[in-house]
Structure 1
Amino acid sequence: MTEKTYSIAVVGAGAVGLSAALAFARDGFKTVLVGGLDTRRDGRTVALLNGSVRFLEALGVWPEIAKAAAPLETMRIIDDTGSLFRPPPASFRAGEIGLDAFGWNIENATLVETLAEAARGCENLDLVPDFAVGFEADEAGAHLTLADDTRIRASLVVAADGRNSRLRQIAGVDARTWSYPQSAVTTILAHDRDHRETSTEFHTRHGPFTLVPLPGRRSSLVWVTSKVETERLSRLDDAALALAIERQAGSHLGAMRVEGPRGLVPMTGLSVNRYWSRHLALVGEAAHVFPPIGAQGLNLGFRDVASLRDAVVDANDSGQEPGSDESLNRYQQSRDLDVRLRTAAVDGLNRTLLTGLLPADFLRGAGLLALSNIGPLRRIVMREGVLPRVGVPRLMQGTVPV
């Protein structure tokens, strides 16, 4: 059995894990990234909000990512629930808060491929395409055991190994999980009309139906609906599915064609009360899972990484180890409120669509009407949606005008 020593070990080679490894290595910490790449294309995209764009700029990877991304200049919400309190469509424009775009939409596989290419050429970073099967921690640090019996010693282990995180389970961090009576169909579409950099979200009685711009006359689809309906849709051929999507969208982008593989995403949630254990920090879906609504999941994961990076750098500057309790306590304090608020907002929106109760419809409709007609309120909500104003990690600062 061989043992290698690092300052920081990141487990999980998705977008969050790759960004964490890049961030720590660029700050001079001897870092290892453990995990195999998954670049399968399943029709899923990610809308990188403005704070995430600034974070990726700080890592030096944004220029390459931007080549395959489309800006989201306008967000349009249409109430298609059939409610008695249905408000008129509402549009939110990035220019109102001094931004060119709220964010940029890119295929998830392309994002991972670009981050992986940057990681291969990064100093202070070793890549180990293996699986972590064991984790132990004591006062001196943490030990990872890999599938090939290699042992890795590190002051801090970053668990970016997803919703079924093995490291979280081994460390004994409890997770609360829940599910919704829905699934989401995802795919890539071509269409006859220009999207004009507008993301359009239809609120239906079974969940949001969202079309998000991609470069050219292309968009990504996230269609949240009942499990019975998603199973029916998944059995359709491409032509029939495209027609069903066009009808659900009211033909506002014209005729559609399916241009990529499909995905079927379960609607589930996960939260933890602790974001750390001894010498271990949880980031991304190891700490929180959202249904694909509101572009919160990966953007929160990047905020996890940027916040953890600040805590580690501050600890290092004061002579403490990256995995010290003081460092990880700072990380916990920086993430708890942000994640709780986003979890409640996404969960609340989805559940109000499903209830069909008149009071819930009234509150949702009144809220959207207020946002449409009260400019200062609308701008506050838009800024908060792009990036919270309090406790912004340093690599994401300076992105939203006052």
Structure 2
Amino acid sequence: MPHDQTTDIAILGGGLAGLAAGIGLAAHGLDVTVIDRGEPGDQTLESFDGRSSAIAYASCNLLKAIGVWDHLEGRHQPIKEIRVSDGPSLMHLHFDHRDLGAGPLGEMVENRHMRLALHARAKELPNLRHLAPASVTEIERDAATVRLTLADGNTISARLLLGIDGRASQARRAAGITATEWGYDQVGIVCSIEHELPHGGVAHERFLPSGPFAILPLTGNRSSLVWTEKQHLADTVMGLSPRAFEAEVQRRCGDFLGKVKVIGGRWCYPLTLQFADRYTDTRLALVGDAAHGIHPIAGQGLNMGLRDVAALIEVIVDAARAGLDIGSGAVLDRYARWREFDNVTLAGVTDVLNRLFSNDIAPVRIARDLGLAVVDRIPPLRNFFMAHARGTVGTLPKLLSGDRL
């Protein structure tokens, strides 16, 4: 028989950002229900999506603070250096964490392992319910409450709904919030490789006419590749035989890692830029890809979502401790003001970088090579960009700074 469940916060979407938000809020005493369409067992299979994420230093602080990092022991690879180059040019940009006298620039984690860690931590919190697979058929919101109807007939009443359900967000569409989007005529091809020689914790990003080609260090003698290619060549590349595909990967990687071997499958994703016209509505806040989606050129997509999560946790927990209505417009406006400018700025920067580097126009190529060289030779400027890569610039939520709420 259908029944109604009451919770403080309902979260639509149980991906990386959605579960992190649920865990963080529940760890600070709120009653949380996460609803996800996906089957948890499927999402942790090696064949699910093949992607890995560069988790910035500040984002690692969040995952440590909410108890997720302990479940990643032995599964994360520190990023000690980043080397940026423009095709065959001798000009380059080199980031080394030792120049800041601080910890690593970030950590590489396979998404599968991140999901396993999030699921393990979620099970430790009795005030967090993870309903999956489950789908919502109706969303009702008014000044007093949120009411969700599930496909099985059950209902959930909450004081606040968080839409953390990806670029095609059901929560965003149900609220009538429009999103601006355009495509890049590019795809991201993702795979993992084993190699003879150690990577030394160095991430490489090479700018080629078709788009960036990133070699990102994983645990052991393994790396994750993110290969940006023109849309019209996607079927050709994905249709290569395993031997031909591996030969092309070896050619693009060069010989600094020795012989490489593609392990596992290969995946292809269209690349677009998208941002919601607003982040909030009556008792609703959009988070992560539901609010913004950017080009992977700087590896900041998930980090943007985790910064949203950290800010939202702080805003909601502060309101709850003060006895305020956690779903009120004033509380949600504080979140939106905190995050919108940062996200729009980063989306603009990644868009410009991709357009600047994804071409082979001679004057543009010369100008950008000189720009790389100038930044590399001015330590304060280079350190500023490194701090951005670590996610430690700007007014940070406490959980990103390593502080407690």
Query: Do structure 1's residue 180 and structure 2's residue 217 form an aligned pair?
Result: no
Deviates more, 1:351-360 or 1:260-269: 351-360
Partner of 2:306, secondary structure, is helix
Deviation at 1:398, TM superposition (A): 4.6
Find the partner of 1:201 among 205, 219, 224: 205
2:43 paired with 1:31: no
CA contact (8 A) 1:239 1:258 kept: no
* Whole-angstrom distance in 2 between the partners of 1:39 and 1:327: 35
What one-letter code is carried by the residue in structure 1 that aligns with 2:274? L
1:57 counterpart (59, 64, 67) = 64
**Structure 2 residue corresponding to 1:111, chosen from 94, 97, 114:** 114
- Kept in 1, the 8 Å contact 2:44–2:112? The answer is yes
| Deviation, structure 1 residue 358 | 4.2
Mapped contact 1:45–1:220 kept (Cα < 8 A): yes
Paired residue total: 395
Contact 1:26 1:123 in 2 (8 A): no
Shift of residue 311, structure 1, vs aligned partner: 1.0
Paired amino acid for 1:49: A
2 CA distance for matches of 1:276 and 1:65? Answer: 33
What secondary structure does 2:103 align onto? coil
Q: Which residue of 2 aligns with 1:12?
A: 13
TM-score (norm 1): 0.95
- Look up the match of 1:283: 287
Q: Is the 8 A contact 2:208 2:359 kept in 1?
A: no
CA distance in 2, matches of 1:142, 1:251: 57
In structure 1, stretches of 5+ residues that fail to align are none
Quote the offset at 1:388 in angstroms: 4.4
Q: Distance between the aligned counterparts of 1:390 and 1:219, measured in 2?
A: 31
Q: Which residue of 1 aligns with 2:92?
A: 89
Deviating 4+ runs (over 6 angstroms): none
2:86 to 79, 82, 91: 79
Aligned to 1:131: 135
**SS of aligned partner of 1:52:** helix
Structure 1 distance, partners of 2:332, 2:368, is: 38
Alignment partner, residue 234 of structure 2: 230
1:154 aligns with 2:158: yes
Matched position secondary structure for 2:206: strand
Can you list the C-alpha shifts for 1:205-250, whole angstroms capped at 9, x where unaligned? Answer: 1100011001111000000011233322211222221211111122
Partner residue in 1 for 2:274: 270
Which residue does the alignment assign to 2:337? 333
* Cα distance in 1, alignment partners of residues 13 and 364 from structure 2: 40
- Tell whether 2:317 aligns with 1:316: no
Question: Residue 267 of structure 1 contacts residue 291 of structure 1 at CA under 8 Å; is this kept in 2?
Answer: yes
Q: Is the 8 A contact 2:16 2:114 kept in 1?
A: yes
Residue in structure 1 matching 2:218, options 197, 214, 219? 214
Identity %: 33
Q: What is the SS of the residue equivalent to 2:257?
A: coil
Within 1, Cα distance between the matches of 2:109 and 2:402?
23
1-side partners of 2:392 and 2:228: how far apart? 26
- Contact kept? 2:212, 2:358, Cα under 8 Å: no
Q: In the TM superposition, what whole-angstrom CA distance separates every residue of 1:139-193 from its partner, at most 9, and x where no partner exists?
A: 1111111111211111111111111001100001111111011111101100111
* CA offset digits 1:102-135 (Å, max 9, x no partner): 1111111111121011112212111211112221
Extract unaligned runs of 5+ from structure 2.
Answer: none
Mapped to 1, the partners of 2:178 and 2:323 lie a distance apart of: 31
Q: Cα distance, 1:69 vs. partner? A: 1.3
Tell me, what secondary structure is at the counterpart of 2:393? coil
